[in-house]
Amino acid sequence: MKKIIFALIILSIGFQGCYKEIVYEDNPFLVRTRTLDYQSLTMSNSSLFLGDTLKIEAKASGDSLQYLWSSTGGILTFSKGTAFFTADSSKLYTISCKITDKYGNSMEKSSDVQVSTELIFSGIESMDVIIPVNHTTQFTAMVSGEGLTYNWSASGGTMMFDNNIALFYAQDTGIYNLNCMVTDKYGVSETRVISIEVAESFIYKSLTATQLQIDAGQYTEITADVLGADLTYTWKSNPPGSIVGEGNIVLFTICHADTFEVSCEVTDRFGNSETKSVLIKVVL
C-alpha cells in the first residue's frame, strides 16, 4: 500500500514538472501564448500626392494587442492595425506603429512616404489665335507643381521664353505649332501643344464701347482692337455726333437723344481695309 501511495506522489510531481502554462481568455477553445510576432508594416504606396490618402496596415499576432500609431506630421487616423494618412505639406514623412501585448512585450516598425505636389499641366493660354506677320503675341503655360522647369519650342518663327511665359512672332504666313514641356523636381514631365495662324494682313478683332447707352452730354469710350503695324483709323458717326480723339481709342458724345452708329475703318500700308461698327443709344 505504501508503494502505491509513493508512486502516485511521484506521478503527480512529474505531471507538475512537465506543465506548460496555457492562457485562456473568454473563448476556452482559443489557445493564447506569450509570444508577440510583428510581421509587417505595409503602405499602399511609397509616394503620395498632396491631398491624396495613404493606407497603412500593421500585421501582427499575439495576445490582446494594442496599436500606437504616430507620424512626423500630417493627419493620421487609425483603428487597430489599419491607419489612413493625409499630408498637410509636401515633404518626407515617417509613419510608425508600436504594438504591445498583454504581457508587456512591444515592437515598433516605421516606414517613410514622400509627399509631393502633383504636376498638373492644364494647358497653354494664348492671347490670340491668329496674328499678322511680325506681330508678337504671348503664351502662358498653366501649370502647378514643384521645382518646375520649362522647355519651349516652335515649328518655325521666333520664340523667346521665361519659365511659363513665351513670346512668339513669325515673318512668314502659315500655321505654327508651339510646344511646351514641363518637368518637376521628381522627374515627371508633361507636354502640351498649341497652334497659331500667321496671316499676311492685319487682324481686326473687335470694336467695343464701355457703355452702349449714355445720357445726352455724357461720353462713352470706343476701342478698335486691331493687330498689325502701320495702321490708320478713320472714325465716323451716323447720324453725325462728336468723336474726340484719334488712333484706335476715341470718345463719343452728343447733346440730343438718338441711336448712333459709330464706325471705324482700319487700313494698313498695303491698302487693305476693314470696317466695324457699334450702336450707341443716347437718352435724355
Domains of the chain: 26-116 (2.60.40.1080), 120-199 (2.60.40.1080), 204-283 (2.60.40.1080)
Q: What is the pLDDT of residue 225?
A: 96
Looking at residue 269, what DSSP letter applies? Answer: T
| Beta pairing partners, 68 | 98
Distance between CA atoms of residues 186 and 192, nearest Å: 19
Distance between CA atoms of residues 284 and 238, nearest Å: 19
Name 255's Cβ contacts closer than 8 Å, sequence gap at least 6: 216, 217
Q: What is the pLDDT of residue 7?
A: 41
Taking the CB of residue 206, how many other CB atoms lie within 10 A of it? Answer: 10
Strand order in the sheet with 66-71: 47-49, 106-116, 92-100, 66-71
Query: pLDDT digit of tens for each residue in the chain (284 aa)?
Result: 444 444 434 344 444 433 334 444 455 555 556 789 999 999 998 888 888 999 999 999 999 999 999 999 999 999 999 999 999 888 899 999 999 999 999 999 999 998 988 899 999 999 999 999 999 999 999 999 989 999 999 999 999 999 999 999 999 999 999 999 999 988 889 999 999 999 988 999 999 999 999 999 999 999 999 998 889 999 999 999 999 999 999 999 999 999 999 999 999 988 899 999 999 999 99
Owner of C-alpha cell 495613404: 54
Q: What is the pLDDT of residue 23?
A: 45
Region of 271 on the Ramachandran plot (φ > 0 left; ψ -120 to 50 alpha; else beta): left
Query: pTM for the full model?
Result: 0.62
Q: What is the pLDDT of residue 27?
A: 56
Distance between CA atoms of residues 261 and 241, nearest Å: 9
Angle at 157 between CA 155 and CA 160, to 5 degrees: 100
Question: Are 83 and 74 in contact, with CB atoms under 8 Å apart?
Answer: no
Question: Are 254 and 242 in contact, with CB atoms under 8 Å apart?
Answer: yes
